[in-house]
A and B are shown apart, each in its own frame.
Chain A
C-alpha cells in the first residue's frame, strides 16, 4: 500500500509537471502566436488538431459504448456505464485543451454563440461537442447521485448517445465538404470518422479497464471483458473493410489530386501500398484479435488495444497531413510542392498537455468518484 502510495505521488508529480509545461506552452502561444508550430499556410493543421480529432472521436466512441447499457438497456454492461461516461467527459476535456491551443484567437470563441453560422460544420462540431460535454456531465451527476433510471436520466443518456453519433459525422464533414480537397473522400469521411470513433473509444476503454484492473485489482467478471474484446474485434473489422475500400478507390482513381497524393512520401512510411500505421495499428491487431489464444490473454488484449489506440491517432494524423501537404493555387509559388512535417516541441507539449489533463481526470475520477458503481 505504501509502495502504491509512493507510485501514486510520483504519478501525480509527473502529471503536474506535464500540466505546468502545458500552461507555459499556453502562455507562450498567446504571446508569440502559432508560428511556434511547424505549421504554415499550406500545412495549416498539425499535431494539436490531430490530437483533438483523436480525443474527441475517442470520447464519442466511449459515449457510444455507454449507450449499450444506458440506451439499449444491456444490463450486464451497467457495471461499465459510469466509468464510460466519466472517461468520455475526461477525454473530451483533453480534446478541448488541444483545440483551444490550436485556435489562433480562442477568446473570440464567444462569437460561436453571438454570431453563429449554421452552414459551418465547424460551428456544428463546436456546438455539439459543447452540448455533449454538458449533457455528459449532467448524466454523470445523475448517475453519481444514484439516479440511473429516471426519465430525465434516461433521456440524458439518449441525448448523449445521439450527440455522440452526430459529432463524428460533423468532424468528418469538416473535411468532407471541402470540395477542393477531394482526397478527403467527401461525405464518406463522416462515416469513416464515426467508425473510427467507435474503434478508438473501444480500444481506449479496453486498455484503460485492463490497466486499472491490474493496478487496482477490482473484480469485474472476466467474461464481460471477453465480450468487449469481441465487440472490439468487430469494430476493428469494420474499419479494416473501410480502409481497404479507401485503398481500392485511391489506387484506381485518376483524379489528379489523388495521383499527386499517391506519389508523396507518407508521413509514417509505407510497406508496399499500405501505410505503416495502418499495417501496425490496424491490420496487425485485427489479425491478432482473430486469434482466440491471443485475444483471450490479458497481454493480448492490452497489446491489441494499445496498438489500435496508437494506430487510430497515427491514421488521423496521416489523413490530416496528406490532404494538406501540397500547396493550393498560387501558394505553390511560395512553398515547395510537398511539405514534410515533424512536430515542433511546442506541438508535442500541446499533445502532452491534453494527455495529462485526460490522465489527471482519469486518476482523480478513479480515486474519488466510484466509477465502478452500478445500480442496485
Chain B
C-alpha cells in the first residue's frame, strides 16, 4: 500500500515536471499554436524512460511443433515464457505453410489451458448409461485405471474372445500405429476403427479411380489460370488454409476463380464466379463442363491426345467411334463421351443445377481455355453424398481433360517422404491373437451392401459410422472392451443418437480425451490426454505449395495435470500392466523401438514416446540415412527446426505412370471396374446388383466412367421444404474449439454467422414467407432429429436451402461448449439432423445433400 502510494505521488511529480516542460515548449513554439490545439504532441516521459529498460527481443523462446486444429497440419512455433505457452505462429521453416498462420491456430492456447480438461483418470460410479444418466465420474489413480483396463483385456484373452476388443481412433498423428494397429493386433482383434470415413474418403475416391491416388491433392495455384472449386473453402477450412491464405491475393490476380457451393463461402466471397448450385447436382455441372470442353475442342491434346485426322467428332448427341481417337496419357475419353457426356449440354445442366446456362457455358469455356493450367478442386461438399463417389470422379476427371493432372498450374499429388514404419507385429501375435484378428470387423465393411473399396480393394475402407449399428445389433458379434482416443462419434457422426445407444451397450469403455465429451459420457474410464500441439511427441505429414513436409510435435510445455500421451505413453503403460498379468508380448514388441542414436531400448513410457518418434523419423535427421529433401545434422537439429521439407514437386513424372490398371488417367476406369467386379464376385452377384443394393443409379458400363447421378436425399419435400447445407467454420478445431471463449467472440468471421450465437442462414425470400426474422429462435427438424438455433436472414444462401455451420451444439465438453454441462446444448449439432447414410463405394459418411428439413419458430 505504502509503496503504491509512493509511486502514485512520484508519478504525479513526474507529470508535474513534464507539464512544466511541455508548457515551456509550447510557449517557445508560439507559432505552432494550431498544432498544439490539434492535440498534445509531447510524448510521455514515462514512456520514454521505460523504453530504455526494455531491451532484447523478448523474454520467451519459440519452440517448434505442429497444429492439428484442421487437417492442414501446419508446422508451428509456440512462444514459451517461463514454461507457459503464450503465443502461436506459423513455422517459417516449412515450405508447405510458408510461415503463415491462420485464425484457428491461436485458439489452441485456449484448448491447452481449457479449465474443463480432465485432470486425472476418472471412473464412472453410476452403472446406468445413457444421455440422461450422469456418470458421476470420480478421480482415480493412473495405476487403478490401468489395472482395470489390463484386467478387462486379460479377461478377453483368457476367454479367447479378443476380437471383442475394439479400438476407436479420432485425431491421430503418425505415431498412431503403436496404439491403433500394433496393440490391437497383438491383443488379437480386427477392430481398429478409424474416423477417416466421416471426414472425406469420397474426396479420395475420384482421384483414385481416375489417376490411382488415394489421398488429398495439392494445387499449384500460383501457376494456375483458372481454379474451379467444388464445395471446398480453402480460405476457411481444409486443407492448407495457411498456404492458400498467404497466396490468395496473388492467385486472384492471376487466375479466374469459380466456386461451386450453395452458400457464399469465404472463398466464394473472393472469387470471380459464384455458382450457387442446387445441392447434389454438382455432377451435372461437371458433365456439362466436360461436354462443352470436348465439343469446343478445348481438351489438352498433349495429355489426352486427339482425333487422328484432327477433326473434332464430339458433336452434341453424336456417338463417336473410339478408333478415330488416339489417346496419349489417358484411357477411354471417347467411351466416357459416349456413355456419360454426349447429351449433357449446358442447357441440360442448367435445368438440374439451378444455374443460368450462360454462366455454365462461360465457366466451361474459360476453364477449358485455361488448359492445362486449369485446376478442378474437389472438396467434401459435392462428394460426401450418397452417390458422391461418382461426383468425386467426374469433378476430378476434369483435371484429366484439361491436362492439369500432375502438371504446372494443376492438380498435384504427394511428394516423396522418407519416414519409416514401426516394426511389424506379426512375431508378437500369439495363437489367440491370430485367431482373434481373423474375425469380421465390427463396421461390416466388405459386405455386399458395403463395398468400401479403398485403393481397389473391396472391404478395405473403414465405414466408421456403421460401427454403431454393428455394436447395437451384435452383428457380427458383441463388443466387450473398447478403447477410444481423441474421437467423439456421439457428436461427430450423423445420427449420433445411435452412438449413444451403442456406447451404452459396451460393458467396458475407455476414453482417452482432453475434455469430458459426449463420448466420455458413456465411458467407464476416462484417461486425460495431452494436447497434441503443446504436450505430445509425434509427427505428421502434409502437402502444399508443391512440397511435402514432415512436421514434429514436441512437448513445449510440461503436460497439464496428469495427462499422458495417447499414442505412445498410454499403450506402453497398458503393455506394462499386461506383462504383470503374464502377457508380455506387447511390451516385448514396444521394447524393440530402440533409440537410433544410442541403440538403447525404452525403459519407461516417456522414453518410449521419444524413441519411437526418433525411430520413425531417422531417415530425415540421420545424415547417414539421407534420402532427399532438407538435410539435418542429427536429431536435435531436426527437432529445433521442427520440420523437414521434401524436394520440389516433379511435374509430369506420373503421366502414363499412374497407379491405375492402365497406368493412364482413366476416364474409363479399368481400376474401378476390376474392384467392383471383385466385390460382385465375392458376393456371387453382378456389378449392377451391387450398385442397386448400394443406391447408385448407374448400370452396365456407365458404372465405370465418371458420371452424374441424381442426389439421394432424405425427407419428403412437402413436409421438409428445405435442403440442409452443412459447412465448416474458420474457427473450428475439428469441433473441439467450442469451449474457447475466442471461438464465440470471433464466430462472425464466418460470412453470415454471428458472434456468441449458432445461426441457421436462410434466404430472406424464404424467411419472409414464413414470417421469420433475424434473431428469432427456430427449430430445424429432419426425419432423423431436430435442433434449436437462431435464424439469420442472409442473401448468401440459395433459396430453398438452409445453411448452418458445424461445431456447436455440445451438451458436455465444457462450460462454454454446453449451455448447462451434461444437460443442455449450446446451439445445435448439425449431425442431429443428418441421417446415418453412406457413399457405400468409399464408405464415407454422408453430410451433404443428405437431408431436407423444416423450419419452425419456437
A residues in contact (CB < 8 Å) with B: 110-111, 114-119, 333-334
Contacts and interface: CB of A to CB of B under 8 A. Distances in A.
Nearest to A120: B40
Interface string B270-303: 0000000000000000000000000000000000
Nearest to A111: B15
B12 A110 contact: yes
Given A115-B19, A334-B755, 4 more contacts: A114-B12, A114-B16, A119-B40, A333-B755
B36 interface: yes
Nearest to A107: B8
11 contacts: A111-B15, A114-B12, A114-B15, A114-B16, A115-B15, A115-B19, A117-B40, A118-B36, A119-B37, A119-B40, A333-B755
Contacts of A114: 12, 15-16, 19
B748 interface: yes
Contacts of B748: 333
B700 interface: no
Interface string B224-248: 0000000000000000000000000
Please list the 10 inter-chain residue pairs (A to B) with the smallest Cβ-Cβ separation, ordered nearest first. A114-B15, A119-B37, A115-B15, A114-B16, A114-B12, A115-B19, A117-B40, A333-B748, A114-B19, A110-B12
A128 to B, nearest CB: 18
Nearest to B13: A114
Contacts of A119: 36-40
Contacts of A116: 19
Contacts of B19: 114-116
A179 B36 CA distance: 19
A118 B748 CA distance: 41
A117 B42 CA distance: 11
Interface string B527-555: 00000000000000000000000000000
A51 B92 CA distance: 57
Which of B15, B18, B36 lies at the interface centre, i.e. has the most chain A CB atoms within 10 A of its CB?
B15
Contacts of B37: 118-119
Contacts of A117: 40
Contacts of B38: 119
A83 B40 CA distance: 42
Interface in B1-33: 12, 15-16, 18-19
Interface string B457-473: 00000000000000000
A111 B37 CA distance: 19
Contacts of B15: 111, 114-115
A117 B23 CA distance: 11
Nearest to B745: A334
Contacts of B18: 115
Nearest to A119: B37
A10 to B, nearest CB: 42
Interface in B58-116: none
A333 B16 CA distance: 41
Contacts of A333: 748, 755
A116 B18 CA distance: 11
Nearest to B18: A115
Contacts of B16: 114
A37 to B, nearest CB: 21
A119 B18 CA distance: 18
A337 to B, nearest CB: 11
A117 B22 CA distance: 11
A111 B13 CA distance: 11
A117 B12 CA distance: 16
A129 B37 CA distance: 22
A210 to B, nearest CB: 47
A334 B745 CA distance: 9
A307 B804 CA distance: 54
Nearest to A336: B775
Contacts of B39: 119
Interface in B740-777: 748, 755
Contacts of B36: 118-119
Nearest to B22: A115
A75 to B, nearest CB: 44
B330 to A, nearest CB: 50
B767 to A, nearest CB: 18
Nearest to B749: A333
Contacts of B755: 333-334
Contacts of A118: 36-37
